[in-house]
Amino acid sequence: MLVYDGPVKAPTDPGSFRLPQELQISRGLTCAEITWYTRTSACTPELKIIDKNGNSAPESKVSISSAPEEIMAEQLDLGFMKILGHTQPVLKHTARLSGLKPGKAYRFTAGDSEWDWWGQEEQL
């Protein structure tokens, strides 16, 4: 006898690329750029910007662009060479932020609300 218990949430382990991977941040005085990779099904990227008190930061403006790429995944690094890797199609997301206030601390979370796949909160 089979019993249907409803949909099962997809695993979000690091190798699945459902959560933002390989986050890179560069910040200027009033602007910043954040890049990350996700699987190709996470095609509605979002960035939540908050201040140090957890309030949203309405002064910041965010624009996000995405481009398909292929990266090497699941490699075994032996120090002098990498083996057992395979290419994986992913999306590279680039978020450009403007309107940041100099000296003000910000935090952000990158993800995809359509799938409810959100990365950890990071310092900007």
* Model confidence pLDDT, tens digit, residues 55-78: 888 888 999 999 999 887 666 666
Single out the residue of 12, 6, 15, 32 nearest to residue 111, CA to CA. 12
Could you tell me the fold of the domain covering 16-74+81-115? Immunoglobulin-like (2.60.40)
pTM for the full model?
Answer: 0.79
Q: Is the pLDDT of residue 79 over 70?
A: no
Give the model's pLDDT for residue 2.
79
Q: Return mean pLDDT, the chain.
A: 85
How many separate helices (H) and strands (E) can be counted in the chain? 0, 10
Would you report the helix, strand and coil content of the chain in percent, each value rounded to 5?
0, 50, 45
At residue 14, φ and ψ (nearest 5 deg) are: -55, -35
C-alpha 93/C-alpha 37 separation (Å) is 6
Terminus-to-terminus CA distance in the chain, angstroms? Answer: 52
Q: Is the pLDDT of residue 53 over 70?
A: yes
